[in-house]
Structure 1
Amino acid sequence: MATASPKLALRPFLPTDAPLLAEIFRESILELTSDDYSEAQREAWISRAEDLEAFAARLSKQLTLIATFDGSPVAFASLAGNTKIDMLFVHPIVSGQGAGALLVDALEKLAGARGASSLTVDASDTARGFFEKRGYVAQQRNSVSVGDEWLANTTLSKALVKPNAQPEA
């Protein structure tokens, strides 16, 4: 299991966070996904955060957590319902330093505590390996229309351990 850096912490989303989270969203897509998606695909994807009010509303309707590094937001993740990780975006400057793992650990625990037996995620080709290393299993490939572009992703799922369940011997 991932361990958090003492400088990494979690806090809930506040509506005033939306502009900064939109910037994390943009930077993450621009800098981390170029090996898997064309420039046109990335620009279409980024356009989903252009309407800041709609972006904030989407995050507000879900359980959204923010990872901070020394108090500054560096990543965020959201849980739709109790069963789907809707968004997970990490600023490139802290990529690979545990912020994503900290967020997903927290969402898994919260979903399990709320009665979910499994979690799903539609992971980008860039994020697929991250989720597979955490025990998520590919279920199907998807093509998503965003503007004039098609983006591929993979639906993955993971069974959650019940909080009071005893491990089998």
Structure 2
Amino acid sequence: MVEVRLFRPGDGPAVVDVIERCLRELNSRDYPAEIIDRMCTHFSVERIEQLADERQMFVAVRDEIAGTVSRDGNKVFTMFVHPRVIGHGVGRRLMHHIEALAAGEGYDYMETGASITGHGFYQRLGYVDLRTSETEFGLNHILRKPLR
């Protein structure tokens, strides 16, 4: 069973661990080491705590923190799942949670930027490609999903 709850003070180190493991074990298949290192440095405990103050950040808990996602209105940010629970519904549960919140607030769609690694995940959830862009971390797919 996966519980989705708001980020709490003290969750930062566990969230950073999930992000770093995801980046190093999964995203490293699609990105060079220098970009992975830059992303890991970017997602420090201090940065995660700052992001949790700026937008709604959630964690998925299965005995321990197994994933995270944040949202600002109908925009999805910082979606990561620990590699050992990929394929167990953790990411899907997180996304359904924030999609329901956005729909309840009257939004017609959700929008996200996705790495090369995460692109297929979002497509399987019904997100469709709008465009691509280049970021400091490489290629980014911009996708959208209708909520109604």
Provide the TM-score with structure 1 as the length reference: 0.84
Larger Rg: 1
- Aligned CA RMSD, in angstroms, stands at 1.1
In structure 1, how many angstroms separate the alpha carbons of the residues matched to 2:82 and 2:53? 20
Q: CA deviation at 1:24?
A: 0.8
In structure 1, how many angstroms separate the alpha carbons of the residues matched to 2:100 and 2:74? 11
8 Å CA contact 2:131–2:143 kept in 1: the answer is: yes
Moved more, 91-100 or 58-67: 58-67
In structure 2, how many angstroms separate the alpha carbons of the residues matched to 1:41 and 1:48? 10
Aligned residues: 148
Q: CA deviation at 1:54?
A: 2.7
In structure 1, how many angstroms separate the alpha carbons of the residues matched to 2:110 and 2:29? 27
Corresponding residue of 1:23: 17
Q: Structure 1, unaligned stretches of length 5 or more?
A: 1-6, 162-169
Corresponding residue of 2:69: 77
Q: 1:124 aligns with which of 98, 103, 115?
A: 115
Structure 1 letter corresponding to 2:77:
D
Q: Structure 2, unaligned stretches of length 5 or more?
A: none
8 Å CA contact 1:15–1:60 kept in 2: the answer is: no
8 Å CA contact 1:13–1:60 kept in 2: the answer is: no
Provide the TM-score with structure 2 as the length reference: 0.95
CA deviation profile, 1:35-54 (whole Å, cap 9, x unmatched): 2111111111111123x223
Following TM superposition, the consecutive aligned residue runs of length 4 or more in structure 1 with deviations greater than 4 angstroms are none
- The aligned runs of 1:62-101 (5 Å cut-off) are 62-70=55-63, 72-80=64-72, 82-101=73-92
8 Å CA contact 1:67–1:99 kept in 2: the answer is: yes
Structure 2 letter corresponding to 1:38:
P
Tell me the secondary structure at the aligned position of residue 97 of structure 1: coil
2:52 aligned with 1:59:
yes
